[in-house]
Structure 1
Amino acid sequence: MGLPHPTLKKCPDAVGRNGWQTLPWTRYKRTSVAIHSNNTCHFATAGPSSSQLKEELAREHVKNLSSKQNAKKKAKTLDRDFFMSVLGSSATKRDARSYLSRFTLAKEPEKKKPTLPADSSNPILYRNGVNLGSFYGNARAVAESPKFVQPPQKQTSLVTGPQLHVALVKIRAPQTLSDETLYGIGRTLSQLGRLGLTSIVVVDCNNSGGTTANSISRRLALEQTDRVAAAIDASREPRARVVNNVIGISEATTEDSPSIYMKSKVHVTLGKLLMTPLRRGTVLVIPPIGYTDRSQVSYSIPADDIVLALARELAGFQSVPLSEHDTEGIGDRLRELQKEISLDRLIVLDPLGGIPASNRPNGYHVFLNMEQEYHTAKQDILAAKAISSDKLTDDFHIRKLQHIKNLQLTRSILSMLPPSSSALLTTPNEAANSGREQDTPFQATGVGTRRQKNPLIHNLLTDKPVFSSSLPVSRLGHSSSFMSYEPAPPSAYVSPTTFVKHGISVSIFPDPKITPWGPPIPGKPRLQLTDSYIDLPRLVHLIEDSFNRKLDVQNYLNRVDGRIAGVIIAGEYEGGALLTWETPPGVLDDGSAESRARMVPYLDKFAVLKRSQGGSVADVVFNAMVRDCFPSGVCWRSRRLNPVNKWYFERSRGTWKLPGTDWTMFWTTPDLSMDQQTFRDYEGVCRGVVPSWNDNKGG
């Protein structure tokens, strides 16, 4: 019997084994059956014409090519949206350098090829391939002789891997968000991951904590957790993973009620379940559910407690005491953990937005310096009163309580992190900006005509708020505060976003809350730079470092003696301002009421250390000056070619180029208080102040 035709296939039902494999193009052929004398059957296919086969293959090729092109177009669209959102953040060169210095991946050391030691006993192979054994090598007795060496030491790598930058993200009330908003948030978190910041998302469904009997809240939490994870997965990379078994609850005694330990004893039980996916860039999504350590009973936990537990874990702190045998090497492990992980940010996405402020027309703090403003901000929220009808009073108090919780959570997290860490509180709609479609209506702010920035991406690139907190409120428009129930018009919309840092302390001499700043009164002691509570050498260093010029100290002290209105110092002399009372030309300085009424508040020196420039120090000092010290206005001057003038122009209420000079005059006085006489007094003072520099170049 001859061999079967190549186009035939044995019937597996008839033969049962050793059947011929179907050719990949048999689905394009017509099939017939042939029965042979040895009781075997074969399927024979009648091949189509070559033109039909080519046509079918061409169609499939076009179909595959079309799907590939569609995938490429989608990828290009996502990349375009990503880069447009990055470019739209308007990062300056200084911001870009700062971002690259923090997020550039460390280069791994090059691996050297292993080389055989000189005393190797391996056979020697010459180019001709002949194995000469050990005839020309070292003697076997020498090679196998014992070697007396030190015990193996602990190997430490000189170059560690790239530091992992992590953000803790809390999404409150995701059940109230639309799918479009949630997918926009997912895209923003994916963009943060591509920029080097990996997120751990904690879902907050407003659970206050409870037992397993509350199955409705548990089911809601798990459903919303899956929604958040699906929204992140929809943006290609990075992927999301739901982790619901890393939060533990310590049990003191069996008689304890869950409410006793629900807050203080929440901790991370399995840190490896966090670290392994984080190293791969995976976004972790955690529901507000925890398990008891011994009985493994699940409970609903407040999301704030989970965020605090995660912060303690990533910062190297332990939420529960370690056993005695585990104390050895704790310091080394903490140092290694801090080298590997940097918890950079806390991001709170709350429908209520940032921290409210009653003294700002936009209704929210733009930048909050916790070291200086925490207690003031808290008292401001507590003192707020509902301005609407009685039926909304309960809702108003709930909003106040939530703002207090957000403020306290932010302070607790930042207190355990390095000063470089920060927090951002904004609405889910603002966080979803980068995820909106291209046909979204244009929104302009009160500052120029710029498109709304995504605060999360902008903050990552610049480590600053969306706009400076020292800008006059008249340039920012307004938005509804938490005390108002009427939304602001889109043309005047300002993002209700608060950028928070642990910040620096601010010292003001004299304290305007105790002694308001006013013109000098004859016979009363005045502040002097030689007073004991002012460190004059550090103040001089601050001025010289900021201006890059040497100050004639004695000449300067002689000029400002008896005229000092006050001194503002930020941190450890990282920034500061020195303000004086100046007498306009033609006004007799005799201490009379008429003379004191004409005296001009003048910003004589405004300085920030070079290493602190570009951050928030300048805003902190400027805000203290215009809000706490001279709310009615102050003036100053600057050379026309001073690179800081752009910053001055944005924060002043008015400017004037003094004719015949190289000076530009600035002031913050409200328009209603700026009459012709005040303007002339300002101009006369700015023309007449004599500089005190060693180079005698003026300015």
Structure 2
Amino acid sequence: MLSKVHVTQARSQAFKAFYATIRSLKNPPAEPPAEPTPPSENDFILSILRSNPSLRDTRSYLASFGMQPKKPQPPSTASGLQRAPEVVIPPPVHKATTSLANAVDKRAPQPSPVITSILNPIYQKTALVKVHGPFTDVQLDSITKGLVYLGKLGLVSVIVIENNDRATGDLAERSRIVDEVMRIVTSLERQGAHARPVVGPVARLGPKPGAHDLNADPDFIPPETHAYPGDLTPIRSSLNAGEIPVVAPLALDSFCRSVRVDANDLIAGLACGMMEAAAQDKATRSEHEVGTSGSGDVDLTPLRLMIINQHGGVPSYARSGYPHLLINLNQEYSHILETFDPKWKSTHPTALSDLALARTCLSYMPPTSSAIMVSHKSPSSLIGNLITNKPTISSSLPHALLQGNSRLTPHTPTLLRRGLPVRVIRSVGEIDKGKMTTLLEQSFGRTLDQDAFYERLEGVLDFVIIVGDYAGTAIVTKEGGYDSTQAPISYLDKFAVLPSHQGDGTVDFLWVALHDESYGLGHPFSANPNGGKGGKGEGHDLVWRSRSNNPVNKWYFERSTGHMRMGNWVLFWADGERKLKIEEGRRGSEGLSFIEDWEEGRLGRWADVIPKIPSAWSK
């Protein structure tokens, strides 16, 4: 137990540090004693390059943070005629000046607009960040460097602190909280950022009135704090001043006392409150301001939830305790709780509580938002998550590639999404043909020959996987089963995702369900809750084809066992995994041959049957 003298000294030191920070923000000294060293620009650019964003990822990022196209002005209708476009005639320029300008242009090529947009974001969005210590000064500097990089890309952090090493309930608790806030503020400023300590309550204790009525999920538990737009003034002021707010886990109780609360409860309450405040801002902003970027205000809508801790993501039974890569909370939440090994509670003590936090926050945040659980050892992965909004390693890659992947470590981050339900149906009569037709036509950009397509499915359908309300589908048929001596070919007839859901994880959720229901059957890691066989059964080869100029083929190459070119088509296949695994175990050190006995002649049969499958599209 600390003496009153020690408690008083700690409070005094915390107050002095707090006052010095505020004073320096208002009246910065003319000659600072020690200039903070900002992170290297080369490190920053390398972090962007390591994320390896695709063209679609870059477009998605620029849609959120880049220059938005202005709405065209409506033509004047006073005279009933369209106003002619304005013609601006530049003033005459002296020939010598023109020659010099041309010479300068040749010597200094202009940077790419894409690079300029990424390095100079127009719009700023917010991320809720939980920094859950204890961390050493070196670890904390690594974390804050990553957060400063995010700020340069347009994502400004609202940080809430938590520390397992700090005892609760004693007289010195408040001063220790302030010390921890100031420690993170100091670390941020060491990285060249401006930060502001927020040591007063920004939320109120207790669930928000009517919170149960706002969520249709009967299992939803509202957070133990709530915030109204007016309560967020310290956070809003900090963001608009270009500062990163570092928030203490405090809330006002019913007697207007500032009390210590769990950081998870505060973050969940802030997620709801910031969404409400952002909606009010949007409603009160004029139409002219919406189309411009000069207001300087930061959008309070939380775009990301980032949970930074010591142990990283949620361990997975399918990866021998290594973390989940991508979680569909809508579908997998209960399954993860059921398969969580009790021994992981000692190595990942906050994994389940953080999982529940992500589920609560994402229920408030926009559908495109995501959460990431990351170790302090992987701060650079935050950059990749911001730009690509994807996991570090795709969860739909073949299991053998995941098991042997050097990038898969105990500290690999877990990406979490609100996600969509997944179900498997085995009858054409269960298909909503109207929604299925819309999905296929929008995904492929072609007109479906509906009568012929559904009539064919009546005779050959194996199963259909549907994600959400027909946001994505995988249709698998049984082909070439005319000879009783040969098993039918399992053929992926259609794999489609609505354009509006491309890039939000639906593609990976759909392919994982397809794996579990076809070539991955029989493995324990295929026992996922997708509404199908639950991993029970015998896996079989899955075959599909794609036009040779299809841009998706790169994605298919990574997920297939092999491919064969057939004119304008590429034939892909994925081997039944369990059969190969059993044979590999039986042979031991001898390994597998290039062609097993049961694989003899299969390529010739596929090449004969698959091209004869009729097109589903109208001519």
Q: Do they superpose with TM above 0.5?
A: yes
TM-score, normalised with respect to structure 1: 0.62
CA offset digits 1:481-521 (Å, max 9, x no partner): xxxxxxxxx786364211111112222114xxxxxxxxxxx
Alignment of 1:387-536 (within 5 A): 396-399=344-347, 402-431=350-379, 454-477=380-403, 493=409, 495-510=411-426, 527-528=427-428, 531=429, 533-536=430-433
Report how far residue 409 of structure 1 moved.
0.7
CA–CA separation in structure 2 for the residues paired with 1:423 and 1:106: 25
Alignment of 1:525-674 (within 5 A): 527-528=427-428, 531=429, 533-583=430-480, 588-589=483-484, 598-631=487-520, 632-633=539-540, 634-652=542-560, 654-657=561-564, 662-670=569-577, 671-672=580-581
Q: Return closer, same or farther for 1:179/1:574 CA change in 2, 3 Å cut-off.
A: same
CA offset digits 1:519-543 (Å, max 9, x no partner): xxxxxxxx22xx1x31113222322
Between Structure 1 and Structure 2, which shows a larger proportion of helix residues?
Answer: 2
Q: Return closer, same or farther for 1:559/1:332 CA change in 2, 3 Å cut-off.
A: closer
Q: Which amino acid aligns with 1:224?
A: E
CA offset digits 1:23-77 (Å, max 9, x no partner): xxxxxxxxxxxxxxxxxxxxxxxxxxxxxxxxxxxxxxxxxxxx9xx999x76x7
CA offset digits 1:119-138 (Å, max 9, x no partner): xxxxxxxxxxxxxxxxxxxx
CA–CA separation in structure 1 for the residues paired with 2:435 and 2:203: 50
CA–CA separation in structure 2 for the residues paired with 1:235 and 1:108: 35
Report how far residue 343 of structure 1 moved.
1.0
Report how far residue 88 of structure 1 moved.
1.9
Instruction: Tell me the SS of whatever aligns to 1:538.
Output: helix
Alignment of 1:163-182 (within 5 A): 164-173=124-133, 175=134, 177-182=135-140
Q: Which amino acid aligns with 1:228?
A: I
Q: Which amino acid aligns with 1:693?
A: S
> Is residue 169 of structure 2 the alignment partner of residue 280 of structure 1?
no
Q: Return closer, same or farther for 1:205/1:362 CA change in 2, 3 Å cut-off.
A: closer
Report how far residue 579 of structure 1 moved.
0.4
> Is residue 209 of structure 2 the alignment partner of residue 314 of structure 1?
no
Q: Is the 8 A contact 1:354 1:427 kept in 2?
A: yes
Q: Return closer, same or farther for 1:369/1:427 CA change in 2, 3 Å cut-off.
A: same
Report how far residue 602 of structure 1 moved.
1.8
Q: Is the 8 A contact 1:506 1:569 kept in 2?
A: yes
CA–CA separation in structure 1 for the residues paired with 2:136 and 2:471: 45
Q: Return closer, same or farther for 1:336/1:343 CA change in 2, 3 Å cut-off.
A: farther
Q: Return closer, same or farther for 1:580/1:299 CA change in 2, 3 Å cut-off.
A: same
CA offset digits 1:621-653 (Å, max 9, x no partner): 11111024542242222233322111011112x
CA–CA separation in structure 1 for the residues paired with 2:259 and 2:480: 70
CA–CA separation in structure 2 for the residues paired with 1:167 and 1:286: 13
CA–CA separation in structure 2 for the residues paired with 1:491 and 1:399: 20
> Is residue 224 of structure 2 the alignment partner of residue 264 of structure 1?
yes
TM-score, normalised with respect to structure 2: 0.69
CA–CA separation in structure 2 for the residues paired with 1:538 and 1:87: 40
Report how far residue 183 of structure 1 moved.
0.6
Q: Is the 8 A contact 1:366 1:469 kept in 2?
A: yes
Alignment of 1:91-490 (within 5 A): 91-104=53-66, 164-173=124-133, 175=134, 177-206=135-164, 210-211=168-169, 214-237=170-193, 239-250=194-205, 264-265=224-225, 267=227, 270-292=231-253, 294=255, 296=257, 298-316=258-276, 335-336=283-284, 340-361=299-320, 363-381=322-340, 384-386=341-343, 396-399=344-347, 402-431=350-379, 454-477=380-403
Report how far residue 208 of structure 1 moved.
9.6
Q: Return closer, same or farther for 1:337/1:570 CA change in 2, 3 Å cut-off.
A: farther
CA offset digits 1:173-223 (Å, max 9, x no partner): 2x2x22222111111111111111111111111389954xx1354443333
**Any stretches of 5+ residues in structure 1 without a counterpart?**
1-66, 110-161, 253-261, 318-329, 387-395, 432-453, 480-489, 511-526
CA offset digits 1:151-179 (Å, max 9, x no partner): xxxxxxxxxxx865111100112x2x222
Q: Return closer, same or farther for 1:276/1:679 CA change in 2, 3 Å cut-off.
A: farther
CA–CA separation in structure 2 for the residues paired with 1:107 and 1:691: 44
Q: Return closer, same or farther for 1:362/1:241 CA change in 2, 3 Å cut-off.
A: same
Report how far residue 358 of structure 1 moved.
0.4
Q: Which amino acid aligns with 1:677?
A: W
Report how far residue 355 of structure 1 moved.
1.8
Aligned counterpart, 1:79 = 41
RMSD: 3.6
**Any stretches of 5+ residues in structure 2 without a counterpart?**
1-30, 72-121, 208-221, 291-298, 521-538, 584-594
Instruction: Tell me the SS of whatever aligns to 1:418.
Output: coil
Report how far residue 106 of structure 1 moved.
6.1
What's the % identity of the aligned pairs? Answer: 27
CA–CA separation in structure 2 for the residues paired with 1:288 and 1:95: 35
CA offset digits 1:241-282 (Å, max 9, x no partner): 110103355599xxxxxxxxx973564673211111111231
CA–CA separation in structure 1 for the residues paired with 2:411 and 2:350: 19
Aligned counterpart, 1:127 = none
Instruction: Tell me the SS of whatever aligns to 1:316.
Output: helix
Q: Is the 8 A contact 1:354 1:365 kept in 2?
A: yes
Q: With CA pairs under 8 Å and 6+ residues apart, which has the higher RCO, 1 or 2?
A: 2
Q: Is the 8 A contact 1:164 1:279 kept in 2?
A: no
Q: Is the 8 A contact 1:208 1:300 kept in 2?
A: no
Q: Is the 8 A contact 2:308 2:375 kept in 1?
A: yes
Q: Is the 8 A contact 2:313 2:411 kept in 1?
A: no
Q: Is the 8 A contact 1:166 1:198 kept in 2?
A: yes
Paired positions, count:
478
- Higher-Rg member (1/2): 1
CA–CA separation in structure 2 for the residues paired with 1:88 and 1:491: 13
CA offset digits 1:323-371 (Å, max 9, x no partner): xxxxxxx985684499842211110012121122101346221111111
CA–CA separation in structure 1 for the residues paired with 2:69 and 2:598: 64
Q: Return closer, same or farther for 1:662/1:398 CA change in 2, 3 Å cut-off.
A: closer
Q: Is the 8 A contact 1:658 1:683 kept in 2?
A: no
CA–CA separation in structure 2 for the residues paired with 1:665 and 1:459: 30
